[in-house]
């Protein structure tokens, strides 16, 4: 057997790693592979960053290949390493940390950089691009403190960034120098419909505006335009385009134009060096969309494996906007010209617009708004380049272009070519899915997802994957029930019922008896099982600290730099000079960089070193505010009738009583309460999990509110007269939620799922409320402040101090 050649990939992104995936399948063991990635992450789906920003996905959800994948395929990964030198004579590369790697074949997949407008003030704090996880984290962090955001750029990326910032609660304006949005993908009619829809969602637009300068001192304060007008901003995101990252190639003597120049086999002008992805320029074009990059990767893999290939001939591109509640598709030549003709259909009532562009009786472009179901079929026809004469009306109105004239979704799928992309996020073709079904025995969506990655990201192609299952698997297709995670097919209710029925008392016991696929569990199921067992057996189950999330294990909020945020509990937001003095002295002693008032009327000590945490809590000698846990966070209050002339009840006393009643209460998700002293509602009780509003002679009790990413106003549960009744109903409601909600499910989602009538009926009888109240008190009796445990127990303290903050951030 020939000795394996050495292959080095510079860039751990989607295009380069996709080429490696193909190569491993085509020529297993042919190469000893080393990958350098500038980011400290495994390979992830960059086009899903907008979903992470909007709150629809976490980092773990967008990982394409996890750390184990590299180990399983014997790939040496240098994450967090930027290659700074290529020695083309010695055939080796060197990273900024001094790591060297020799190569027989070198692949450049360095991607692109966001184009940052060279405006005066562009170097100020709060001015960023939108290109990677770090940018996403900066936006999420900024939204916690600041409220006004400007996105420069009204294209695909700009609108996705703006939608994400809206979800984070920011006031967002999109600045665009063109008269209409997405002018590179849409015609004016579709753009106007898009603008109207996005404005209804809360987005603001400043069109035909040319940015001149960014003002502010250290941090951005706003944007100044060439017409003399200004717009305030605490955050400016530039989404005006990308530039191929060619600095390394250029300094190494590799031919560069706009991108790294490659031929049809992705070869550069230097023997043994290839380029693929956004950094590559092929026939004068540098592509920025995933489908062409995956096509390039497939060609490169065949070339490296010695498999015959016709080479890469370029791509016709299509785009789809990933914004909640908006369906937009565009492909090919979408604007009218002298040698084309267009057909249009528009329905203002249902918000649907369709346009097809024809040239020499061939379909050359399409724009769809509101109904994008035919996008894949139209794109397939565009790429085929066949005559559609006599079928124009069917194409426009949504009928299949197949000879059979069938109009069903299955008929459209059957007529698609095998090389048509079904899953745009992961570049999976119809033929790949068909092969997984016919030759690899995949008979469910989950099996296809595991085998091909189709539908593994945004899920927008799931219906098409199900359709292909019907076509190729027929009666053999099965609908696999999905459990709480990939380790089990059991859902929450089934797991809880089995734990109760068989009186299972440990996580290991649950996993063994209920046939967990992964006997060690995962980051999704272990915390949920830990909660369910503690909720069901409060006096018997011993909390498993290692199954809690990082913040709960550390009893502090870990920050992006590895330091911590400490929040002592301040009941009802009421403190004293002595307490304030103690906090100030501790903050001074431990050199805390920032002390901030939180939205929950407390003080947050930010930037605390790990080694200082136990001693700091000991000197504070205050209960934890549990700002890190899935438990009671805060009880916000206004001053009520103690000082306010509008107050009708003592909201401060009521809030403090509730906070002391439920502190340390574990729950499926975080819980926030508030008490307002009158219907003016200054404590914002009507967007809390449990809100209390004072009225003349009593209290209104509200449930299921959320002031976060998915804002929800509360439902009125009932009106009571006394403070004791408030506590009784609050106890009963919270325990009902604890016992019946799914892990990680906020009260807002739970109330919507089960319905207000169900909650009212469950709490209607006083004997039922008192029974729930007794169970919640039993659970609370078992809890102690975590820091008292750590301070008092030398072994616990030793274990805590051994924890590694870098690993915690990664987990």
Annotated binding site for siroheme: 682
Do residues 806 and 562 lie in contact, with contact meaning Cβ atoms separated by under 8 Å? yes
Do residues 205 and 235 lie in contact, with contact meaning Cβ atoms separated by under 8 Å? no
CA angle 615, 617, 623 (to 5 degrees): 160
Handedness of CA 803, 804, 809, 811 (dihedral sign): negative
Nearest-angstrom CA–CA distance, 519 and 756: 38
Nearest-angstrom CA–CA distance, 311 and 266: 8
Q: Say how many C-beta atoms besides its own lie within 10 A of residue 100's C-beta.
A: 11
Q: Which of 293, 570, 270, 580 is nearest to 425 (CA)?
A: 293
The binding site for [4Fe-4S] cluster consists of 638, 644, 678, 682
Lookup result for tokens 């009571």: 720
Indicate the DSSP class of residue 181: T
Q: Which of 153, 83, 74 is nearest to 111 (CA)?
A: 83
Do residues 214 and 231 lie in contact, with contact meaning Cβ atoms separated by under 8 Å? no
Nearest-angstrom CA–CA distance, 552 and 744: 14
Nearest-angstrom CA–CA distance, 728 and 739: 17
Residue 302, Ramachandran bin (φ over 0: left; ψ between -120 and 50: alpha; else beta):
alpha
Q: Say how many C-beta atoms besides its own lie within 10 A of residue 304's C-beta.
A: 23
Do residues 295 and 311 lie in contact, with contact meaning Cβ atoms separated by under 8 Å? no
3-state SS, one letter per residue, for 60-120: HHHEEECHHHHHHCCCEEEECCCEEEEECCCCEEEECCCCEEECCEEEECCCEEECCCCCC
The binding site consists of 638, 644, 678, 682
Buried b vs exposed e over 263-293: b needs ≥16 C-beta within 10 Å? ebbbbbeeeebbbbbbbbbbeeebbbbbbbb
3-state SS, one letter per residue, for 663-729: CCCECCCCEEEEEECCCCCCCCHHHCCEEEEEECCEEEEEECCECCCCCECCEEEEEECCHHHHHHH
Q: Which of 317, 267, 261 is nearest to 293 (CA)?
A: 317
Nearest-angstrom CA–CA distance, 348 and 87: 61
Q: Say how many C-beta atoms besides its own lie within 10 A of residue 196's C-beta.
A: 11
Nearest-angstrom CA–CA distance, 778 and 767: 17
Nearest-angstrom CA–CA distance, 602 and 628: 14
DSSP 193-238: HHHHHHHHTT-EEEES--EEEEEESSBEEEEEETTS-EEE-SEEEE
Strand partners, 422: none
Nearest-angstrom CA–CA distance, 337 and 318: 19
CA angle 310, 314, 318 (to 5 degrees): 130
Strand partners, 604: 596
């Amino acid at each position: 057997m020939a000795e394996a050649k050495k292959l080095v990939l510079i860039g751990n992104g989607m295009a380069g790693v996709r080429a490696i995936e193909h190569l491993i399948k085509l020529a297993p063991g042919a190469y000893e592979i080393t990958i350098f990635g500038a980011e400290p992450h495994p390979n992830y789906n960059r086009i899903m960053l907008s979903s992470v920003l909007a709150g629809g996905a976490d980092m773990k959800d967008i990982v394409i290949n996890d750390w184990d994948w590299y180990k399983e395929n014997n790939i040496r990964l240098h994450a967090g390493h930027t290659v700074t030198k290529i020695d083309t004579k010695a055939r080796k590369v060197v990273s900024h940390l001094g790591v060297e790697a020799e190569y027989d074949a070198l692949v450049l997949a360095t991607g692109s950089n966001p184009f940052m407008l060279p405006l005066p003030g562009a170097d100020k704090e709060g001015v960023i691009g939108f290109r990677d996880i770090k940018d996403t984290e900066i936006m999420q962090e900024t939204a916690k403190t600041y409220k006004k955001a400007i996105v420069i750029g009204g294209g695909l990326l700009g609108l996705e960034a703006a939608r994400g910032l809206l979800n984070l609660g920011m006031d967002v304006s999109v600045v665009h120098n063109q008269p209409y949005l997405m002018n590179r993908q849409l015609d004016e009619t579709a753009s106007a419909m898009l603008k109207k829809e996005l404005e209804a969602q809360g987005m603001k637009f400043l069109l035909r505006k040319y940015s001149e300068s960014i003002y502010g001192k250290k941090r951005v304060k706003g944007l100044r335009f060439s017409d003399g007008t200004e717009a305030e901003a605490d955050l400016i995101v530039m989404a005006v385009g990308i530039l191929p990252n060619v600095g390394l190639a250029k300094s190494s003597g590799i031919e560069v134009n706009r991108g790294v120049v490659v031929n049809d086999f992705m070869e550069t002008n230097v023997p043994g060096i290839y380029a693929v992805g956004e950094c590559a320029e092929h026939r004068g074009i540098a592509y920025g969309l995933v489908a062409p990059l995956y096509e390039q990767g497939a060609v490169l893999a065949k070339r490296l494996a010695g498999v015959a290939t016709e080479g890469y001939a370029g791509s016709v591109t299509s785009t789809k906007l990933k914004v909640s509640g908006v369906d937009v598709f565009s492909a090919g030549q979408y604007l009218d010209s002298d040698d084309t003709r267009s057909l249009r259909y528009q329905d203002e009532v249902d918000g649907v617009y369709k346009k097809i562009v024809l040239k020499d009786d061939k379909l050359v472009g399409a724009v769809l708004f509101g109904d994008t179901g035919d996008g894949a079929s139209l794109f397939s026809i565009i790429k085929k380049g066949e005559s559609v004469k006599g079928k124009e009306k069917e194409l426009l109105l949504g009928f299949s272009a197949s000879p059979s004239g069938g109009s069903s979704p299955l008929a459209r799928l059957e007529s698609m070519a095998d090389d048509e992309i079904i899953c745009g996020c992961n570049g999976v073709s119809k033929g790949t899915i068909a092969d997984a079904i016919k030759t690899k025995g995949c008979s469910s969506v989950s099996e296809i997802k595991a085998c091909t990655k189709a539908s593994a990201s945004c899920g927008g192609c799931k219906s098409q994957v199900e359709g292909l299952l019907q076509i190729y698997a027929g009666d053999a297709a099965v609908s696999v029930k999905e459990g709480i995670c990939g380790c089990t097919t059991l859902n929450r209710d089934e797991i809880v019922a089995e734990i109760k029925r068989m009186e299972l008392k440990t996580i290991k016991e649950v996993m063994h008896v209920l046939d967990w696929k992964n006997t060690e569990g995962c980051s999704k199921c272990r915390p949920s099982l830990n909660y369910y067992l503690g909720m069901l057996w409060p006096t018997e189950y011993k909390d498993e600290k290692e199954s809690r999330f990082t913040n709960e294990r550390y009893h502090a909020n870990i920050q992006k730099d590895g330091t911590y945020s400490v929040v002592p509990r301040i009941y009802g937001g009421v403190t004293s000079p002595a307490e304030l003095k103690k906090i100030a002295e501790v903050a001074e002693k431990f050199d805390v960089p920032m002390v901030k008032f939180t939205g929950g009327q407390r003080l947050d000590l930010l930037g605390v070193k790990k080694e200082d945490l136990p001693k700091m809590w000991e000197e504070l000698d205050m209960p934890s505010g549990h700002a890190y846990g899935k438990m009671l966070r805060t009880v916000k209050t206004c001053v009520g009738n103690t000082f306010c002339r509008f107050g009708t009840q003592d909201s401060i006393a009521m809030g403090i009583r509730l906070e002391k009643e439920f502190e340390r209460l574990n729950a499926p998700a975080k819980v926030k309460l508030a008490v307002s002293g009158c219907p003016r509602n200054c404590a914002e009780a009507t967007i809390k999990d449990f809100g209390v509003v004072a009225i003349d002679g009593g209290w209104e009790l509200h449930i299921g509110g959320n002031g976060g990413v998915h804002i929800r106003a509360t439902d009125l549960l009932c009106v009571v007269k006394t403070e004791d009744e408030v506590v009784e109903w609050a106890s009963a409601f919270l325990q009902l939620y604890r016992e019946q909600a799914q892990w990680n499910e906020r009260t807002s989602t739970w109330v919507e799922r089960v319905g207000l009538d169900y909650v009212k009926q469950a709490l209607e009888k006083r004997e039922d409320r008192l029974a729930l109240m007794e169970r919640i008190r039993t659970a609370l009796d078992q809890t102690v402040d975590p820091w008292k445990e750590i301070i008092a127990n030398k072994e616990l303290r030793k274990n805590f101090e051994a924890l590694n903050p870098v690993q915690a951030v990664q987990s």
